[in-house]
Chain A
């Protein structure tokens, strides 16, 4: 599993009353959530808003006696739904040519030849990512965020076995199209 290492057992016992528990949770999950939302196509500002709203919702959820199991997938589901509600941003990322700024951000090679090769490889990867279906892309993004198949299924409301099949299909597509 790739991405940020997030503990599966989160300290939620006193989340509603003890702010330090909420702070730990926020520090653990903020960046994976932001990265997921930005990769879905939200701007950094939009992603910040969504993450903040998600944690406010979590506080209300726990304070109201809601279930404290699978909080990580709960947060990702709230964030995912908020992202889907912003249709324009959500569709933007994978329906347009690669942003030149994104291309530039991956160029960190020692020689111009290496930089050109890396840029071309990244462009190829972006093309391959654009050919994935929405569910394939979302599964891979959540997987890159450190979620297990069961949690991905909870976020996207899919069976765990379906998540496994979707991830496998997506990875195979990427491997074939990028010839890695």
Chain B
């Protein structure tokens, strides 16, 4: 290894004086060994830079908090309890008696000229909170929906129109969805911002809950649309 090899890295970093740098340049043009070492040092330098970048990128990448799964589990349980406590009570207090779809269909068949929901009952239905009744059949006509906000719960309330007389005899059970923002269940700061829980609750004709499904949501408070 020649004498100039000690100056290769300083030259690469621009730390040599002008005279020394020019002299080294001339040497590099004739010394193959120094050129090879210079290239190897440059590669090592670039590899170290890439190593630093990768380390920095890995550390600054978003990492979910370790307690997030536990918070989700606790939140789901609390949401389930809240749904069970709130919904039947509100159903009893505000929901006018409703017939199950098969029964309605049977009635519609028996009395085809009479609408099943009158204007008065539509007014009653507008007082519904925390519930959304949907039917999956495409035969149902589109109905106007009025969003309601009460105690942090935002839900759409469909007003059943007179077209319900066209219900098929095999219509599915009403599907009720309730979404509870986590902020309403937990103290401030206990759960990550924007997290909420959604409870899908199927209620039998007598008003008691039949099926309950819970999901945590991270994308903020929004109404689920993929109803069965």
Contact of A34 among B6, B41, B47, B56 (CB under 8 A): B56
Stretch from B7-15, B83-91, B140-148, B166-174 that touches the partner: B7-15
Q: Does B61 contact A (CB under 8 A)?
A: yes
Q: Are A38 and B43 in contact (CB under 8 A)?
A: no
With the chains together, A178 CA to B43 CA distance in Å? Answer: 10
Contacts of B44 in A (CB 8 A): 171, 174-175, 178, 180
Residue of A whose beta carbon sits closest to that of B15 = A149
With the chains together, A35 CA to B14 CA distance in Å? Answer: 22
Q: Are B6 and A38 in contact (CB under 8 A)?
A: no
Q: Interface digits, B41-53 against A, CB 8 Å rule (1 contact, 0 not)?
A: 1011111111111
Q: Interface digits, A27-53 against B, CB 8 Å rule (1 contact, 0 not)?
A: 000000011001100011001000000
Q: Does B54 contact A (CB under 8 A)?
A: yes
Contacts of B32 in A (CB 8 A): none
Residue picked from A47, A104, A141, A178, most chain B C-beta under 10 Å: A178
With the chains together, A178 CA to B55 CA distance in Å? Answer: 18
- Contact A1/B14 with A122-B51, A174-B44, A180-B44 known, Cβ cut-off 8 Å: yes
Contacts of B14 in A (CB 8 A): 1
Contacts of A43 in B (CB 8 A): 59
Contact of B9 among A34, A35, A129, A168 (CB under 8 A): A168
Q: Are A39 and B55 in contact (CB under 8 A)?
A: yes
Size of interface on A: residues with Cβ below 8 Å to B: 37
Q: Are A122 and B41 in contact (CB under 8 A)?
A: no
Q: Are B15 and A164 in contact (CB under 8 A)?
A: yes
Tell me the number of A-to-B contacts counted with CB atoms below 8 Å.
86
With the chains together, A99 CA to B56 CA distance in Å? Answer: 12
Q: Does A59 contact B (CB under 8 A)?
A: no
With the chains together, A101 CA to B50 CA distance in Å? Answer: 15
Q: Chain B: interface residue count, which band? A: 20 to 34
A41 to chain B, nearest CB (A): 9
Contact of B55 among A2, A38, A168, A171 (CB under 8 A): A38
Contacts of B53 in A (CB 8 A): 35
Q: Are A38 and B41 in contact (CB under 8 A)?
A: no
- Contact A164/B10 with A39-B55, A105-B58, A105-B61 known, Cβ cut-off 8 Å: yes
Q: Interface digits, A150-180 against B, CB 8 Å rule (1 contact, 0 not)?
A: 0000000000000010011001101100101
Q: Are B45 and A3 in contact (CB under 8 A)?
A: no
Q: Does B71 contact A (CB under 8 A)?
A: no
With the chains together, A168 CA to B6 CA distance in Å? Answer: 8
- Contact A180/B43 with A44-B59, A44-B60 known, Cβ cut-off 8 Å: yes
Residue of B whose beta carbon sits closest to that of A172 = B41
With the chains together, A102 CA to B55 CA distance in Å? Answer: 6
Interface residues of B in 34-87 (CB under 8 A from A): 40-41, 43-61
Contacts of A106 in B (CB 8 A): 50, 54
- Contact A171/B45 with A39-B56, A122-B54 known, Cβ cut-off 8 Å: yes
Q: Are B15 and A2 in contact (CB under 8 A)?
A: no
Contact of A99 among B41, B43, B46, B58 (CB under 8 A): B58
With the chains together, A171 CA to B49 CA distance in Å? Answer: 12
Q: Are B43 and A175 in contact (CB under 8 A)?
A: yes
Residue of A whose beta carbon sits closest to that of B43 = A180
B192 to chain A, nearest CB (A): 16
Q: Are A38 and B59 in contact (CB under 8 A)?
A: yes
Query: Can you list 9 residue pairs at the A/B interface with Cβ under 8 Å?
Result: A2-B46, A38-B55, A38-B56, A38-B59, A47-B59, A125-B51, A164-B9, A168-B6, A175-B43
Binding site for B on A (CB under 8 A): 1-3, 34-35, 38-39, 43-44, 47, 93, 99, 101-102, 104-106, 121-122, 125-126, 129, 140-141, 143-144, 148-149, 164, 167-168, 171-172, 174-175, 178, 180
